[in-house]
Chains A and B, each alone.
Chain A
Amino acid sequence: MKKRVVIIGGFHKAKSLAVSLLEQGYAVTVINENREHCEILAEIPHLAVYNGDGTEPFILEDASIQNAEIAIAMTKSDADNLVACELCKKKFGVKKTVTLIGDPAKTEFFYKMGIDSVVCEITTITGIIEQQAFLDEISTLVPIGDGRIKISQVPIPQDAPVVDERLMDISLPKNVLIGCIMRGDTGMIPRGDSVIRAGDVLVLISSDEHETAAHRALLGK
């Protein structure tokens, strides 16, 4: 049995998400209030389309929401998204609910109301833009274990002391691992004899106390 995903509301975003999920092998249903939008969505092969308000229990029932594994709310209204997700969860027993949210201040409240995943458009997009804009600086990607372990990306400039050195010849502090070297479009898992080049971006896994020392060893500052 294919996993079933129901997308409530949204048009452009819903369309692109639906296509992507169908490609990944999910059974996808969209619910949309706008009739014209529904007609356009219905042209996508294998996509099931229901016209109606996804915060109405009978519409959700029509779309057999109770058989869905995941419900994703993408309407423009935070209130509609909240109610759609809560109905899916509390009335129809959908296991996982995901919602878009416009007002970042409500993220915590949505989690408190039992929504499994809350995606804030504004913070996500500004986060990506920030990352892109400051790509030449060290950025922490993921803190793990209450922030004691950090995965960071370190771009290697031309004047770094490690340029053209083999990994085995670089003295890195303990508890630091170069997990990946990203060069152009490709990433590679390094070995001891891998050579670091200017322009590489290293993905560093380190304990937080050794992170700065590692950066110093790699960048000389």
Chain B
Amino acid sequence: MAKKDTFTVVVGCGRLGAHIAQTLLGSGGGVLVIDETRDSFRKLGATFDGILLCGDATDTATLDEAGIGSASALIAVTGDDNINIMVAQMAKALYNVPRVIARLYNPERSIINEKLGIGTISPVLLSTKEIESALNIDEVPV
């Protein structure tokens, strides 16, 4: 649950980014969403009242404009692993954002984030785990 005094920057307004933004806002936290294409913000729906910023999140000018310095968390969920890694590393190394999470389609790339204190979410690993446990449930009757 997001607390009232949190401020989360979500980079990339795809399906996951939009859903995270809505959820965090719904639980009372401050949310700012960055995406390169304005059209992507439509996924958030008309009632979304978080802050929208159209721009390139790998540009420090955009991150400054987003007020990244005061963010309690940054979540990088664009469709490009390498962009997510770079934005996450910039947030950590240049702006010292306390919580930084990057979504990586390829979990093998996560090794380069490990020592920097950046969390990695990999849909492949999560799905594998879920599918595995679903299979196990079917096999082992409770």
Contact = CB atoms under 8 A, between A and B. Distances in A.
Are A and B a genuine interacting pair, yes or no? yes
Nearest to A89: B112
Interface residues on B, range: 10 to 19
A112 B60 CA distance: 15
A82 B106 contact: no
Nearest to A85: B112
Interface string A168-194: 000000000000000000000000000
Interface stretch (B21-29, B45-53, B78-86, B126-134): B78-86
Interface string B93-126: 1100000000000101101100100000000000
A83 B108 contact: no
Interface in A67-102: 77-80, 82-83, 86-87, 90-91
A105 B63 CA distance: 13
A90 B112 CA distance: 6
Nearest to B86: A79
Contact of A79 (B82, B94, B115): B82
Contacts of B85: 79, 82-83, 86
B81 A83 contact: yes
B86 A82 contact: yes
Interface string A15-27: 0000000000000
A109 B93 CA distance: 8
A113 interface: yes
A58 B109 CA distance: 10
A83 B112 contact: yes
Contacts of A105: 59-60
A56 B109 CA distance: 8
B89 interface: yes
A77 B81 CA distance: 12
A105 B62 CA distance: 12
What does DSSP make chain A's interface, helix, strand, loop or mixed?
helix
Given A103-B59, A112-B93, A113-B93, A82 B109 contact: no
Contacts of A113: 89, 93
B112 A58 contact: no
B82 A87 contact: no
A82 B60 contact: no
Contact of B109 (A57, A77, A78, A103): A57
Contact of A91 (B58, B81, B111): B111
A109 B109 contact: no
A152 interface: no
Contacts of B80: 79
Nearest to A105: B60
A55 B106 CA distance: 10
B91 to A, nearest CB: 11
A79 B109 contact: no
Contact of A78 (B86, B93, B94, B115): B86
B17 to A, nearest CB: 17
Interface of B: 58-60, 80-83, 85-86, 89-90, 93-94, 106, 108-109, 111-112, 115
A-B pairs, 9 with minimum CB distance: A79-B82, A86-B112, A79-B86, A83-B82, A57-B108, A79-B83, A90-B112, A80-B82, A82-B86
Given A83-B109, A109-B93, 16 more contacts: A55-B81, A58-B108, A79-B58, A79-B80, A79-B82, A79-B85, A79-B86, A82-B82, A82-B85, A82-B86, A82-B89, A90-B112, A90-B115, A91-B111, A109-B94, A113-B89
